Structure 1
Amino acid sequence: MLARPAIREVVFLLDVDNTLLDNDRFKADLDTRVLRDFGEPAREEYWQLYERERQRLGYADYLAALQGFREGRDDDPDLLRMSGFMLDYPFAERIYAGAMEAVEHLHKLGTPVILSDGDMVFQPRKVQRSGLWDALRGRVLIYLHKQNMLDAVQRRYPARHYVMVDDKPQLLASMKQSMGERLTTVFVRQGHYATAPETAAIKPPPDLTIERIGELAGFNLQQFSLGACSTPAS
């Protein structure tokens, strides 16, 4: 019989895309590549397929869109090179400044764990190639819809308190409604959600708001637990 995991004091749950890693830059590079190799009509087709898959699945799946894009292009050598572009993309160059330092700091305060949405091929590949897999010491959870998997997360990493760090305030609100005061939510104002409507309209609003992921390297444990201050400790 397997031993039950020890109960930790604090577990930090860290999103990947536009939280630790600039996924908007990847999308821009992918857009440029599709336009260069296939032209404007094909570029529009790819992103229509991408959006259709995102609506169907509830998360971004670039490879599924590429599979649909393949139809009618089986004899195009650029199509095979496109898959290589995605899988070998230098995600380590897209880690936000200060993100790795923040992760190392969180190791000193508790147990940081990646908690991400995504598919079972491209998203793990992204985490590995970016260096985040090693930085998080293999503590990586990737689900279809992470807000629906909170019971599983708590079984895998039982703790007295959790901190969720994400760039999507609406998702943070959903998780807060499920976990209540056992969860501190941290909104990182990065990526395209940074320009979304004011978070005050979201109920409940994030406990903490920061402008850059690197700011977490200056936080102390009390600030995360109490959720009362968004200014790093001096």
Structure 2
Amino acid sequence: MKTQNEIVFLFDCDNTLFDNDRLRDDLQAHLDRKFGVWARDRYWQIYEELRAELGYADYLGALQRFRFEVNNDERALLRMSAFFLDYPFADHLFPNVLDVLAYLEKSGPTVVLSDGDMVFQPHKIQYSGLWQAVDGRVLIYLHKEKMLADVERHYPAQHYVMVDDKLSILAGMKKIWGKRLTTVFVCQGHYALDPHNVATYPPADITVQRIDDLLGYDMPVLLAAAGKENAEMRPS
């Protein structure tokens, strides 16, 4: 039986630790250069269809379907795989992310808790340096907010802190864990900045503008926020 931690810090990956919007922008530009506007737009249409079907982002799955429709340049299609495999993930972590993880680990284990496929998402986490930064404590699910019992099995704790750019995820987890969970909303990326998303879901316990706002936070305040109304993070 695993020893129960006093506190475990859970971090989403995309647009929380890693600038996934930058990846999308770079992919968009690459598709435009290699295949043109029509094919670029068709890739994203396939991507959104697949996302609705699976419930998570699947860049490689979309590329497989895209291949059957755009077969005029097989060499260009093969180079698309190089784009995904050789992308400089480590260069596009948000500022001071590794410092944040190291700082929080002084108080409890840090865990990357992500949604995604089982090929590209682990590749991204590994080659960005996040896998090493959390000593391999990585969990990837289809819908992480529905897998909290499994999270507890792997990393039992009296209290959890979940850091995410999606209020929908934070709200879903809060319904299950209640005051055992402090939710931290990071205002980074297009989901976090969408007024509709902000208006649709209840506020998190704590809101920060950037991930590195978590550097120098006051731990008692962070834990106490789980049972109070939402607040802006104030470093100690």
Q: Give the Å deviation of 1:199.
A: 7.0
**Consecutive unaligned residues in structure 2, runs of 5 or more:** none
Does the 8 A contact of 1:11 with 1:157 survive in 2?
Answer: yes
Match of 1:16 among 13, 17, 22: 13
Specify whether residues 49 and 203 from structure 1 end up closer, same or farther in structure 2 by C-alpha distance, changes over 3 A only: closer
Task: Measure the CA separation in 1 of the matches of 2:174 and 2:200.
Answer: 11
**Structure 1 position 25 matched with structure 2 position 22:** yes
What SS does the corresponding residue of 1:71 show, helix, strand or coil? helix
Does the 8 A contact of 1:162 with 1:184 survive in 2?
Answer: yes
Task: Measure the CA separation in 2 of the matches of 1:126 and 1:22.
Answer: 11
Specify whether residues 199 and 81 from structure 1 end up closer, same or farther in structure 2 by C-alpha distance, changes over 3 A only: closer
Equivalent position of 1:38 in the other structure: 35
TM-score by length of 1: 0.94
Q: Give the Å deviation of 1:233.
A: 3.2
Equivalent position of 1:114 in the other structure: 112
Task: Measure the CA separation in 1 of the matches of 2:201 and 2:6.
Answer: 27
**Consecutive unaligned residues in structure 1, runs of 5 or more:** none
Match of 1:197 among 195, 198, 222: 195
Task: Measure the CA separation in 2 of the matches of 1:183 and 1:76.
Answer: 49
Task: Measure the CA separation in 2 of the matches of 1:103 and 1:205.
Answer: 24
Paired-residue identity, %: 54
Does the 8 A contact of 1:176 with 1:204 survive in 2?
Answer: no
Specify whether residues 34 and 75 from structure 1 end up closer, same or farther in structure 2 by C-alpha distance, changes over 3 A only: closer
**Structure 1 position 64 matched with structure 2 position 61:** yes
Equivalent position of 1:48 in the other structure: 45
Task: Measure the CA separation in 2 of the matches of 1:53 and 1:146.
Answer: 18
Equivalent position of 1:97 in the other structure: 95
Kindly report the root-mean-square deviation, in angstroms, between the aligned alpha carbons of the 2 structures. 1.5
Query: One-letter code of the match for 1:13?
Result: L
Does the 8 A contact of 2:207 with 2:233 survive in 1?
Answer: no
Task: Measure the CA separation in 2 of the matches of 1:74 and 1:150.
Answer: 45
Which 4+ residue blocks in structure 1 deviate beyond 4 angstroms?
none
Task: Measure the CA separation in 1 of the matches of 2:107 and 2:214.
Answer: 11
Q: Give the Å deviation of 1:204.
A: 3.7
Task: Measure the CA separation in 2 of the matches of 1:231 and 1:90.
Answer: 31
Equivalent position of 1:173 in the other structure: 171
Q: Please give the per-residue CA displacement for 1:57-111, whole angstroms capped at 9, x wherever unaligned.
A: 1111000000001104175201011011111110101100011111011101111
Specify whether residues 55 and 203 from structure 1 end up closer, same or farther in structure 2 by C-alpha distance, changes over 3 A only: closer
Task: Measure the CA separation in 2 of the matches of 1:198 and 1:109.
Answer: 35
Does the 8 A contact of 1:20 with 1:213 survive in 2?
Answer: yes
Equivalent position of 2:149 in the other structure: 151
Match of 1:161 among 156, 159, 162: 159
TM-score by length of 2: 0.94
Match of 2:129 among 124, 128, 131: 131
**Structure 1 position 232 matched with structure 2 position 234:** yes
Equivalent position of 1:81 in the other structure: 79
What SS does the corresponding residue of 1:20 show, helix, strand or coil? coil
Q: Give the Å deviation of 1:220.
A: 2.6
Does the 8 A contact of 2:191 with 2:197 survive in 1?
Answer: no
